[in-house]
Structure 1
Amino acid sequence: MENKGRTRRQGEDMERVIEVVHVSAHLVNVVNFSVRYSEEFPSLNVARYRGEDPRLIILTTVPGITGILLVLILFLMFTASSYCIRVSNYEIFWYTHNLFIVFYIILIVHVVGGALKYQTNFEAHPPGCLRANQTNPDKTEEESGQAEGDVWSCREEARFQPNSPETWLWVSGPLCLYCAERLYRYIRSNSPVTIVAVVRHPCDVIELRMLKKDFNAHPGQYIVLNCPSVSSFENHPFTLTACPTEKKETLGIHLRVVGDWTERFTELLLPDPGAESEILPMVQQRRYPKLYVDGPFGSSSQEVFNYEVSLCVAGGIGVTPFACVLHALLDGWRHFRLRRLYFVWVCRELQSFYWFAELLCALHHKLWQENRPDYLNLQLFVSQTDGLQNISEERYRPLSSRLMIGRPRWKLLFEEIGRTNKHKRVGVFCCGPKGISRTLHRLCNSDRYSGTTFEFNKESFS
């Protein structure tokens, strides 16, 4: 995922450079249209007369007007997709991002103006020939009276015709595929899900349990939520923290209340700010807002089970992709290669660990009962020390011995994993701050771990 993300960013940068060169070349062309107006072939010109103001050419022709609109839309899309705008105001990013539909429509119209032309009568007027009733000044009268097929004689004036627009040939195919995919996704998600449980966790995190008919998902996948009561057009991705199984039909997510959309959504789910949770029987289900689920969609976290040894690193709410992995282990999934899991969770506040404290403790007890205590190597790190005594609760006692203050010493961790798993491929999965992902990526690329190969995978929705 990290390599794919880097490739995508490089591709976007290259697109920006190409677009700048493209627009600059057109501006040079507009100036040439005015300066090099052809008196000999008036129909070939884009300008109406020699010396016409290039700005007037741009503002009074179809290619010029549509070109301005295309550049404006691209500028809005590029600037609104920057990280700072996505984080501070997601709505701006979302609505400008969907301008791509308008962009493609204008792109098809852009070439209709007929700025590019070609000659249609080469046989009657070959390039370089003299026009009708003219002679070559360099030739004698005898030479000028040669046969009609002479290269210097023209039987008629040159005629020009605009090129047939072909942009639609290249755009229509991808647009049809996109529309077909959107239609399929609409049909797949047109039935609202049933919300069966809403739980408020510490640090502004809400757990949502839902029920959807014929919904199948694998650990590590994510879904896209749409709540018309909040916004009819906005769709937000959330990683599944619980997948439906034979024993449990519900699917679950954990979302952090950050931003306008999550705040409004939380107010609809829990109107009472003091309510910690609301779990109602199906017969007493109150009227929650309509919620539509699209998905599931694949992500790099699905590959955790395809390694014999995996290292999962989470930062804060970035634990959600791996919570579903832990649920799968707790539910007794057996159809995977994973033989050992290193799980590192870094949080600023101690209360964040309570999001999945019961899950971690339940998995700990299960592995001890099965005589597999080394299957899961759990390490919890907290950077703020306020209230550390609270984790000494009896039901969370297995976590207290694995809680450390500060930040992980990544190099030592990699060296330990390398010594313990010589000549093996270790999958490294990260969902968290950029600082952690950069460090892990750099360590994975270094070659000093007793022949152990570390393969880096990163998940991010930002």
Structure 2
Amino acid sequence: MVVSVRSWLVNEGGKHVVLMLWLGANTWLFLKTFLLYLTGHQYHYLYQMLGLGLCISRASAAVLNLNCSLVLLPMCRSLLTFVRGTHTVSSRGTRRLLDKSKTFHVACGIAICIFSVVHVSAHLVNVVNFSTSYSDDFPALNLARYKGEVLPGVTGVLLVLILFLMFMSSSYCVRMSNYEIFWYTHNLFIVFYIILLVHMVGGALKYQTNMEAHPPGCLRANQSSARRQDENQDQDENRCSEDAHFQSHYPQTWLWVSGPLCLYCVERFYRYIRSGDPVTIVTVMKHPCDVIELRMVKKNFKARPGQYVVLNCPDVSTFENHPFTLTLCPTENKKTFGIHLRVVGDWTGEFKQHLFFVLSRCVVSNDWTGFRLQRLYFVWVCRELQSFYWFADLICALHHKFWQENRPDYFNPKLYVSQAENLQTMYEEKYHQLTSRLLIGRPKWKLLFDEIGKANKQKRVGVFCCGPKGISRTLHRLCNSSTSWGTTFEFNKESFS
């Protein structure tokens, strides 16, 4: 498969630019801090005591500060939605880049985990050196009270423990098998940031403050001539005018994280206020395969195609929220909006049980992605025929609407049944339009892309994927490949941030 440079730049260029900028910032900050502690005169005596463990621990701490501040920004959903909808963000590439905010959040989280391991490992070396390299010449520089003392690090241990729980519960298998574990452990980030802000208050590392009166390595008054000869120091070397003075570092973590943390808290408070408006569930419909369709009304609620809502039911879980793509958007004449919810886990199972008792207590909230359509190709792959009944009425209604408006080519549905065993057709008369659209097997994606490319020469076609990772990877790869018709395919995947 030949990769098209133009398609690759459209689909991958923006995110790779952001990735390189992020990697560059991390690399520059690590090297800058490493060299500062390696060559800085104010850290001369501290470096003699701790060695490279000092440089690595401080450099990794600087990278951790950067990523602990950045990791919160992609989770400000309302802010991102506002920025995405402003006139200043006009290009589709910028909007699609904002849609990948969750991926950036994951990247920052991985960086935090990696550099936490580096930071902890370097500090273990520092702890050993503080104990074994106790300085009699500079008592103020010591963290240990005597040589060989074992030094505890309570806040560091708590941070590592919380981070370990958050990392392990973020794995795909945990999120799929028990989402509640992921949700509640991830909310430990509040405790994590509180401990992080007080982590450096103890002032374990100190720097020299009087380098003019006491240049690093100068000859002190009580230093013996024998020691002078051992260190190959000249007799005429300048003596220190005073002893070295040391001062603890002022904690700087709050300078990095306070801004994003306050922004995130304001964002959460704003979403909480907005979610206080009541939502009325006007229709509940049960579809095959344990799928429930909800139609709701909320005052002053606006939405566009591609938007998703966050559903919360207090009787199921007070703090747990789940995103669902809108399958029906409100209009000026009809304010109803709807979702399709498939019962596949604990939360959806309990929500189904409580649905008919606490309908008025469900609340939703304003994240959307939208594109202006000229033609719509709708490809739906299911294992069994019954699944198509979820949206059969809607698809037939759209098909009829566009035929009535003399636009038969505007909506082109293709329905694939992947399992041909015991296959039956849709016998209902009202679904006869779908019978000719029903195909057996899986889509031949390359042929389908060629067909769409031929019908849209030299144009840009948006590809929107909502499905398993296998199909997503295939479509992503095809979008980056070259076509003989000059068509550019822009890949988009449903992502809840």
TM-score with structure 2 length normalisation? 0.75
2:262 corresponds to 1:191: no
- Give distance in 2, aligned partners of 1:407 and 1:124: 79
3-state SS of the aligned residue for 1:389? coil
Hey, what does 1:51 align to over in structure 2? Answer: 148
Shift of 1:192: 2.3
- Give distance in 2, aligned partners of 1:202 and 1:270: 19
Q: Which has the higher contact order (CA 8 A, sep 6+)?
A: 2
Hey, what does 2:367 align to over in structure 1? Answer: 297
- Give distance in 2, aligned partners of 1:357 and 1:460: 25
Shift of 1:132: 4.4
Match of residue 70, structure 1, among 141, 159, 163: 159
2:406 corresponds to 1:371: yes
3-state SS of the aligned residue for 1:245? coil
Does structure 2 conserve the Cα–Cα contact (< 8 Å) formed by 1:126 and 1:154?
no
Match of residue 217, structure 1, among 276, 298, 303: 303
2:79 corresponds to 1:79: no
User: Which aligned segments of 4 or more residues in structure 1 are displaced greater than 6 angstroms?
Assistant: none
2:130 corresponds to 1:33: yes
Structure 1 unaligned blocks of 5 or more: 272-286, 306-337
Shift of 1:460: 3.6
2:430 corresponds to 1:395: yes
TM-score with structure 1 length normalisation? 0.80
1:415-430 equivalences in 2 (<5 Å): 415-430=450-465
Q: 1:376 to 1:349 in 2, by over 3 A?
A: same
- Give distance in 2, aligned partners of 1:145 and 1:354: 96
Does structure 2 conserve the Cα–Cα contact (< 8 Å) formed by 1:414 and 1:449?
no
- Give distance in 1, aligned partners of 2:484 and 2:177: 41
Match of residue 116, structure 1, among 205, 211, 218: 205
Shift of 1:123: 4.4
- Give distance in 2, aligned partners of 1:242 and 1:248: 11
Hey, what does 2:355 align to over in structure 1? Answer: 269
Q: 1:7 to 1:170 in 2, by over 3 A?
A: closer
Hey, what does 1:442 align to over in structure 2? Answer: 477
- Greater strand content: 1
- Give distance in 1, aligned partners of 2:213 and 2:410: 85
Hey, what does 1:382 align to over in structure 2? Answer: 417
Shift of 1:384: 2.8
Shift of 1:241: 1.1
1:36-185 equivalences in 2 (<5 Å): 36-52=133-149, 56-57=150-151, 59=152, 64-132=153-221, 136=225, 151-155=238-242, 157-185=243-271
- Give distance in 2, aligned partners of 1:236 and 1:194: 18
- Greater helix content: 2
Task: Supply the AA of the counterpart residue of 1:361.
Answer: C
Hey, what does 1:407 align to over in structure 2? Answer: 442
- Give distance in 2, aligned partners of 1:205 and 1:45: 65
Shift of 1:161: 2.0
2:467 corresponds to 1:432: yes
- Give distance in 1, aligned partners of 2:104 and 2:209: 45
Shift of 1:342: 0.9
- Give distance in 1, aligned partners of 2:141 and 2:394: 75
- Give distance in 2, aligned partners of 1:159 and 1:210: 69
- Give distance in 2, aligned partners of 1:133 and 1:387: 96
2:333 corresponds to 1:236: no
- Give distance in 2, aligned partners of 1:408 and 1:37: 70
- Give distance in 1, aligned partners of 2:451 and 2:274: 46
Structure 2 unaligned blocks of 5 or more: 1-10, 16-99
Bigger Rg, structure 1 or 2: 1
2:359 corresponds to 1:288: yes
Shift of 1:431: 0.5
Hey, what does 1:260 align to over in structure 2? Answer: 346
Task: Supply the AA of the counterpart residue of 2:246.
Answer: F
- Give distance in 1, aligned partners of 2:222 and 2:134: 24
3-state SS of the aligned residue for 2:160? helix
2:118 corresponds to 1:21: yes
- Give distance in 1, aligned partners of 2:414 and 2:212: 82
Task: Supply the AA of the counterpart residue of 2:384.
Answer: E
Q: 1:415 to 1:153 in 2, by over 3 A?
A: closer
Does structure 2 conserve the Cα–Cα contact (< 8 Å) formed by 1:130 and 1:154?
no
RMSD: 2.4
Does structure 2 conserve the Cα–Cα contact (< 8 Å) formed by 1:238 and 1:253?
yes
2:318 corresponds to 1:247: no
- Give distance in 2, aligned partners of 1:184 and 1:406: 47
- Give distance in 2, aligned partners of 1:218 and 1:395: 28
Hey, what does 1:330 align to over in structure 2? Answer: none
Identity value in percent: 69
CA-to-partner distance for each residue in 1:151-208, whole Å, 9 max, x for gaps? 31434x3332211112112221111111111111111111221111111111111111
Shift of 1:122: 3.5
